[in-house]
Amino acid sequence: FSAPGSRMPLVVVGVNHRTAPVEVRERVVFDPARIPEALRELTGLPAVRESIIVSTCNRTELYCVTDQGEAALGEWLQRYHQLGSSIHHCLYRHEDMRAVTHAFSVASGLDSMVLGEPQILGQLKDAYRTAQETGTTGPMLNRLFQAAFSVAKRVRTETQIGANAVSVASAAVSMAKTVFSSFDTRTALMVGAGETIALAARHLHADGLRRMIVANRSVDRARDLAAEFQGFAISLDEIPSHLREADIVVASTASPNPIITRAMTASALRARKRRPMFMVDIAVPRDIEPEVAELEDVYLFTIDDLQSVVEENKEGRRQAARKADQMIAAEADRFEMQLRTRDAAPTIRRLRLQAEQARQHTLDQARHMLAAGRSAEEVLDFLSATLTNRLIHAPSQRLRDAAESGDDAIIEAITNIYHLDRD
């Protein structure tokens, strides 16, 4: 570690969704299988003593302990990925305490594309574990990442940063929970096979959905998505035959005309014997006829309903993020203080050892005096005076030397250390 008061040899270099477009980010992604090899190469650079590589679809970051600064790290990243053109304009660089604050913010989800998303914490833990197994972490990065995980847990526990849905897909699933207490006995019909439908399907599956049907114009695409959740695929034309099975319907296609009609839904409800049906229409133009909302036992929500929920939840997360920022700043200060305290620990141990040796030597002399028949009062006077002289000899000598050479800094330091009254 660096001496107290000097710079911390911690550097972060990287790109993320804010600094680089996807065509740059995808070029600097590390193959997970090759990360151990890359870590060894990175730590083999001159003056790089520790390293961790974080690589996701939205960020690639190098966390290093090095005395050389960030320039060599950016050059290595470009060289490793064999990039013909420079990416230096996309790189961000953090050193010392800015690097600590950045690590805490990333772990807490404050630097993510979706504010407060929890996936990045798991990705950081995976990156840290890989570096540990490869042998490229050390005292500094071990402490940094353990502290980052602890801060992230505190942010999750003490703020509402991840409490509410901030994507249309997750908002749809959250609204479904207001109708059904659990999904483990429910069937969902997903109409479409695009990104939003896939994300909603993953949320439902993660929440314990029992059964899933995927309907799409291209049945092959429907099969691909359904296979991910052990569901089954149908064509759009088959929806009338299966709608009665659906407790939850999520629709998002590019169809110019409604796919699910009022008559179709009324028929399904009769077959369901008035069991409720939750429906979300995320499409524009709409996939579900608006008149479906007039039917009893149907809870129909549109993209506008979801968007208002999402915006409200985003504002809630932004407020939580402001509180989290304050927590992170305080935790970063505490981290710096702990590092400096640990830096001083070896000196404190040497100081205590030296004082203990002086005490033991003086005590031995006092015992010999007692054994020789000297009075207790004389021995106590010798003991106190000799021990005092031995303990203050070194600082006294240093003060005299400083006075002779005009070294006011030493005089000021000893004055502060011993809390001396300047008057």
Catalytic amino acids?
57
The tokens for 315 are 């504002």
Sign of the CA dihedral running 95, 100, 106, 109:
negative
Say if residue 302 is exposed, middle or buried (CB neighbours under 10 Å; 0-12, 13-18, 19+).
Answer: middle
The tokens for 300 are 């129909």
51 Cα distance to chain centroid: 17
Quick one: DSSP state of residue 45?
S
- Nearest residue to 54 via CA among 28, 79, 72: 28
Task: Find all residues with CB under 8 Å of 289, minimum gap 6, and list them.
Answer: 258, 260, 261, 262, 265
- Nearest residue to 143 via CA among 65, 68, 67, 70: 65
What are all long-range contacts of 379-383, with beta carbons under 8 Å and residues at least 24 apart? none
3-state SS, residue 191 = strand
Query: Hunting for tokens 């590390």 — which residue is that?
Result: 30
- Nearest residue to 189 via CA among 241, 243, 270: 243
Task: Report the chain's C-alpha Rg in angstroms.
Answer: 33
- Nearest residue to 339 via CA among 59, 140, 61, 115: 140
- Nearest residue to 234 via CA among 249, 216, 258: 216
Largest Cα–Cα separation, the chain: 116
CA atoms within 13 A on the CB side of 324: 31
3-state SS, residue 415 = helix
| Phi, psi of 342, rounded to the nearest 5 degrees | -70, -35
Q: How many residues does the chain have?
A: 423
> What is the distance between the alpha carbons of residues 64 and 95, in angstroms, rounded to a whole number?
10
- Nearest residue to 246 via CA among 263, 267, 227: 267
Tell me how crowded residue 65 is: count the other CB atoms within 10 A of its CB.
23
> What is the distance between the alpha carbons of residues 283 and 304, in angstroms, rounded to a whole number?
10
